[in-house]
Structure 1
Amino acid sequence: MRSIIKIDFEERMMIDLIDWINGALWDVLLIVVLSGMGIYLSIRLNFIQFRKFGESFKKTFGSISLKGDKASAEEGMTSFQSLATSISAQIGTGNLAGVATAMVSGGPGAVFWMWLSAILGMAIIYAEATLAQYYRTTEKGHLVGGPVYYIQAAFQGRLGKVIAALFSVLLIFALGFMGNMVQANSVGHAVSTAFGISPWITGIVMAIMALIVFIGGVERIASVTEKIVPLMALFFTIASFIVIIMNIENVPASFEMIFVGAFNPDAVLGGILGVSIQQAIRFGISRGLFTHEAGMGSTPHAHALARVKHPSEQGLVAMMGVFIDTIVLLPMTVLVILTTGVLDGATTGIELTQLAYAQVFGNWGSIIVAISIFFFAFSTIIGWYFFGQANVKYLFGKGAIPIYSLLVAIFIAIGSGLHVELVWSLADLFNGLMVLPNIISIFLLTNVVVKITKDYDLPLSQQQYQNTYTKK
């Protein structure tokens, strides 16, 4: 018994230390950096997230398919496969567990700041995907791309290589290891609540399933994600709509809590959560980043491999990924939690989401969430593994991939049974750290993004991209 108490005490001290670092990182620095960059890019690109929204929608859903062309390491993926791989990473536990922790820690008003971060993030992710396309290259016959290549271009010389290597290390830990622990943790607790199965058993099963996909390489990753993403989004949406419709009379009050809580948290829920405006902003933006990933430098790894004629085309498709994830799907969980009235601070994470669905579906509510979180998390694990793999290959070469695959599987198994606070705190820390080199690089290359965008805005007959970009 003493050993268990000692472990809990040490874990609490670790959580407090990481939370202190996260406070310094998230309370001011990253809020200013991410919001400022989103505003800056929106202005420089003439608010592309609004003026090109229709074209973004058309390019995204005009190419949707459950049986697309075969992806390959040599030729990359179709535009939709790249988006599906990207969304598979974006639509994860953030949509089911992350938003729940955001509302407990930052009140319902945190959702407003999540939405705002997504709107600004659409401009950021457009720049990320466009630069990833522009600076991609071919190495040993394989198409490669991602932030490390535009980071090197931004800083140039030895400094560029050092910063690119630092980003790679941070991403491998943030997504491949810590991030996937978060995914497994939420699944483990959800399955335990729904079926009484030990989180450790669930973690081991997920680790084995993930390894099977990892071994298949980019071809299997693209094939799995392009099929899972549309189906899981549809299942989740239908279940959520049923809960919301059953509590339709509470929808207006729920939106009031979101907008009032963004600026006056004490005015909602009778102040029982005891949060401040600063907390609402901090947890809204940090959980928003974890959900849509705009600015992290993760999704450009998938967008770099898309087979498109112009870099801006995939930039527009990337914008729709943020919109689908945070503006369309995330409110489903938000309204389910708020309309059912279960937000009281006593329950958090995936258990809070399950409690909300149980108000309508009874015991089946926990099962529905467990199924949803499994597919959401598993698809994210695949996407984040893929992003991490690109950086492992960049740092250590192709021979290190089997070791990386095994390590990711081990972290998945371990993460399923850890304390939820510790896992989320670690994820926030590494997510925040990897934002900085990525955002600075985009800022330094903003003129490049503007130039590419202006070229794309020209009439088709005047565009010069066939010579200027595809041979870059």
Structure 2
Amino acid sequence: MDYIHKLVTELNNLVWGVPMLVLILGTGLFLMVMLRGMPIRRIVLGFCLMWQGRSKDVGAQGHVSSFQALMTGLSATVGTGNIAGVATAIFLGGPGALFWMWCTALVGMATKYSEIVLAVHYRDVDSKGECSGGPMYAIKNGLGKKWHLLGFVFAVFGGLAGFGIGNMVQSNSMAEVIKVTFGIETWVTGLVTTVVVALVILGGIKRIAKVAASLVPFMCIGYIIMSLAVLILYASQLPAAFSLIFTHAFTPVAATGGFAGAAVLMAIQYGVARGIFSNEAGLGTAGIAQAAAATDSPVRSGLIGMTGTFIDTIVICTMTGLVIICTGVWDGGARGASLSSSAFESALPGIGGYLLAFALIIFTFTTILGWSYYGERCWMYLAGKKAIFPFRILWVLAVFAGAVFHLDFVWLLADTLNALMAIPNLFSLLLLSPVVIKLTADYFKSKNE
């Protein structure tokens, strides 16, 4: 077991090394340039379309509205990455890591837009009108038979990664925070969560989307309000916080307090890695959710979907990072969710820790729901519809297992599988980028814009 752990550690360091950072940022930058900055220029349009997308397109194939599909995607991305992931990036890379998370998000908007456009354009529709899409379908239908292996590899990695990063890691984080905050045993949390998750996911995408559309806006707005309350209290520290972020994005940060110091490369590496962990731009997962939407326009779906990256990283992750830096706890030696908790508790004594715990509980629960659909579509692609029910049973059982077992190795393996998911997706994006450019140009030409 020690050998396997060492092997996966070495693989993780390799796949999240400089080549991966270049591939992720490079692909996003390439797409942003080819789109002439459209995702940034049209972000307001994206939000307007998101609001309009609360109802299904009349006569379009699909089971959920574009808004519900976006909320399903956000339910999977707004999770531990926004609380523990941001804190880990700052702990390991210093305040400058937040700057590189922003960069990842900005170019990631182009990446996610392109993923969704291709997922909707190349989705499969069965005899009952059920839609299935994502990188594996874009590869199969867009690149042809000689590239089928690439889609197969994505589905395998996605199907396995979901059990870790989208399930067991989330239920484990939820159970731990509930035990520390409220004193409830992990098996109790695991049992209750297992039952609730089963009631939702056994109803398929329609029920998942309805729950996500109800919970996600509430949890995002609630977390933003909570963070703004802290930042108002520490408003005088905001200029210094931004100074630290921009300074240490390009210069090393020396050891101070409980902080061991970090080189610029560490700030870049952990900022990009945690940024991807948070918003999933480059993994291809958002396209799986958006492909289920009742829409007749891949570009409109892409415009709506790319707002998820903006909300997730530019807004919510920024809130977490600024709270940690402004309260001055970033160099105290704590890491992960504990660092975020200490920041909120120091600002709001007596209630800050409880509020963050509640936010983390909702975040992790919705992530489990969103990723269940991603994993289901991956296994359906590999084994057909007969795989759906067994997958859902295994998914529900994994929720309980994640709550009661120690998962250091699962964290490591899931992080590695995330990177391995990204590789076939990013290559397919580069190969199919002319299709994205043409569909985008045709859409705006038809709108006379």
Q: Same fold (TM over 0.5)?
A: yes
Q: Which residue of structure 1 lines up, in the alignment, with residue 249 of structure 2?
A: 262
In structure 1, C-alpha distance between the alignment counterparts of 2:405 and 2:180, rounded to whole Å: 15
Q: Which residue of structure 2 lines up, in the alignment, with residue 137 of structure 1?
A: 124
Residue 397 in structure 1 maps to residue 384 in structure 2: yes
Instruction: Give matches, 1:28-67, under 5 Å.
Output: 28-64=18-54
The Cα of 1:423 is off from its aligned counterpart by 4.0
Q: Is the 8 A contact 1:185 1:418 kept in 2?
A: yes
In structure 2, C-alpha distance between the alignment counterparts of 1:69 and 1:60, rounded to whole Å: 12
Q: CA RMSD in A?
A: 2.4
In structure 2, C-alpha distance between the alignment counterparts of 1:407 and 1:70, rounded to whole Å: 34
Query: Which whole-Å deviations, capped at 9, do the CAs of 1:235-287 have from their partners, x for residues lacking one?
Result: 11111111111122221111122111212232585793222222211111111
Query: Which whole-Å deviations, capped at 9, do the CAs of 1:148-205 have from their partners, x for residues lacking one?
Result: 1111135421x43322122111001112444322212221221122112233332332
Question: TM-score, with normalisation over the residues of structure 2?
Answer: 0.94
Unmatched tracts of structure 1, length 5 or more: 1-9, 463-472
Q: Which residue of structure 2 lines up, in the alignment, with residue 148 of structure 1?
A: 136
Q: Which residue of structure 2 lines up, in the alignment, with residue 431 of structure 1?
A: 418
Find 1:173's aligned residue among 160, 166, 170. Answer: 160
SS in 2 for 1:306: coil
Q: Is the 8 A contact 1:308 1:314 kept in 2?
A: yes
Aligned in 2, Cα 1:365/1:461: closer, same or farther, shift over 3 Å?
closer
In structure 1, C-alpha distance between the alignment counterparts of 2:269 and 2:442, rounded to whole Å: 37
Q: Is the 8 A contact 1:189 1:350 kept in 2?
A: no
The Cα of 1:40 is off from its aligned counterpart by 0.7
Q: Is the 8 A contact 2:257 2:331 kept in 1?
A: no
Q: Is the 8 A contact 2:61 2:294 kept in 1?
A: no
In structure 1, C-alpha distance between the alignment counterparts of 2:186 and 2:87, rounded to whole Å: 20
In structure 1, C-alpha distance between the alignment counterparts of 2:259 and 2:70, rounded to whole Å: 40
Find 1:183's aligned residue among 170, 173, 179. Answer: 170
Q: Which residue of structure 1 lines up, in the alignment, with residue 114 of structure 2?
A: 127
In structure 1, C-alpha distance between the alignment counterparts of 2:256 and 2:44, rounded to whole Å: 38
In structure 2, C-alpha distance between the alignment counterparts of 1:329 and 1:178, rounded to whole Å: 19
Q: Is the 8 A contact 1:261 1:267 kept in 2?
A: no
The Cα of 1:393 is off from its aligned counterpart by 1.5
The Cα of 1:390 is off from its aligned counterpart by 1.0
Q: Which residue of structure 1 lines up, in the alignment, with residue 393 of structure 2?
A: 406
Q: Which residue of structure 2 lines up, in the alignment, with residue 377 of structure 1?
A: 364
The Cα of 1:402 is off from its aligned counterpart by 2.1
Output the amino acid matched with 1:51: R
Find 1:99's aligned residue among 73, 86, 90. Answer: 86
Greater shift, 136-145 or 41-50, is seen at 136-145
Q: Which residue of structure 2 lines up, in the alignment, with residue 7 of structure 1?
A: none
In structure 2, C-alpha distance between the alignment counterparts of 1:213 and 1:271, rounded to whole Å: 43
Output the amino acid matched with 1:343: W
Aligned in 2, Cα 1:402/1:342: closer, same or farther, shift over 3 Å?
same
Aligned in 2, Cα 1:32/1:203: closer, same or farther, shift over 3 Å?
same
In structure 1, C-alpha distance between the alignment counterparts of 2:125 and 2:199, rounded to whole Å: 27
SS in 1 for 2:285: coil
Q: Is the 8 A contact 1:79 1:314 kept in 2?
A: yes
In structure 2, C-alpha distance between the alignment counterparts of 1:17 and 1:251, rounded to whole Å: 43
Output the amino acid matched with 1:149: Y
Q: Is the 8 A contact 2:56 2:66 kept in 1?
A: no
In structure 2, C-alpha distance between the alignment counterparts of 1:374 and 1:14, rounded to whole Å: 32
Aligned in 2, Cα 1:222/1:441: closer, same or farther, shift over 3 Å?
same
Q: Is the 8 A contact 2:47 2:307 kept in 1?
A: yes
In structure 2, C-alpha distance between the alignment counterparts of 1:345 and 1:364, rounded to whole Å: 20
Aligned in 2, Cα 1:274/1:379: closer, same or farther, shift over 3 Å?
same
Q: Is the 8 A contact 2:57 2:296 kept in 1?
A: no
In structure 1, C-alpha distance between the alignment counterparts of 2:247 and 2:41, rounded to whole Å: 29
Q: Is the 8 A contact 1:190 1:366 kept in 2?
A: no
Find 2:96's aligned residue among 87, 106, 109. Answer: 109
Identity of counterpart residues, as a percentage? 38
Output the amino acid matched with 2:95: P
Q: Which residue of structure 1 lines up, in the alignment, with residue 71 of structure 2?
A: 84
SS in 2 for 1:352: helix
Q: Is the 8 A contact 1:177 1:408 kept in 2?
A: no
In structure 1, C-alpha distance between the alignment counterparts of 2:39 and 2:407, rounded to whole Å: 35
Greater shift, 219-228 or 176-185, is seen at 176-185
SS in 2 for 1:346: coil
